[in-house]
Amino acid sequence: MKVMVLYFYITNKKFISRLFDYMTYDTLLLDINTDSKIAKIVLNRPEAMNAFNEQLIWDLKSATELVSQEENVRVCILTGMGRGFSSGADLQEREASWQSTQDSLIRGYLPSLKAIIEMPIPVIGSINGPAAGIGAAYAMACDLRIMSRDAFIMSVFSNIALVPDGGLAWLLPKGFGYAKALEYAIEAKRISADECEKHGVVNKVVDADMLESETAAWASIIAARSPTAVRETKRLMRLAMDKGYFEVYEAEAEIQNKIFGGAEFKEGVSAFFEKRKPNFK
């Protein structure tokens, strides 16, 4: 299935040339709305519970890189079509270019996971059902998460005598702590939306029929914030996942010095004193 990439506002010829480079995708839907400043990537293999075949891997790499380069977008949503976010790798695929499992992880999955983590804007994982295996890795790689009440995250690898991959061996302990993450991984337990909320791994849990609208509303709130402040805050907090207090402190000071007094800062201060909502260009 090929789907047109939708653009609601085209600003220049350079942007138009990029539009034609990324006109269609076989396995996902991409909506870049530069009016609302929100991008949405929808994994679109519902007949396979959005399992990752090689084409989806390449399509997601392209889509995430395209969104990363789009200056007029302030937040990205990643979700799945149909009954689930993603059931993981497509174990029924028989023909692929991978030389080995390691090749599929490094050459295949890593670029899009890296693009999500390093994307200058926040990525909201809108988890509409099972997020299992490599699907769990993509859900956990997002910056923010909203889940339907019936959704769950699951590291299924031990069921087939494998270890977590896609970075899950790092992402799960960061989210749940070592002991719970190990329990979930070696027993291949479902991690319910309520359990994710208890551990602070998910930001919001909503009824399934409200997930799409609640995700869109949340994205709109973020898109209205100062894009510089949001972008740099994401960068600092990602840095804090690996660095110590003093390194982060110094990075804060450097960034604050760079943006203090800028146009967005002046608009924020003016809006505060004028008792109105700021309008960040």
In tens, the pLDDT along 10-36 reads: 333 333 334 433 447 999 999 999 999
**pTM of the complete model beyond 0.85:** yes
Written as one letter, the residue type at 151 is A
The full 3-state SS of 64-80, as one line of letters, equals HHHHHHCCCCCEEEEEE
- For residue 167, the tally of other CB atoms under 10 A from its CB is 20
Q: What are the beta bridge partners of residue 126?
A: 79, 146
Written as one letter, the residue type at 51 is A
In tens, the pLDDT along 44-81 reads: 999 999 999 999 999 999 999 999 999 999 999 999 99
Using DSSP, state whether 148 is helix, strand or coil. strand
Spell out the alpha helix ranges (H) of 126-262: 134-141, 168-176, 178-186, 193-198, 211-223, 227-240, 245-259
Read off the pLDDT of each residue in 175-200 and give the average, rounded to a whole number.
97
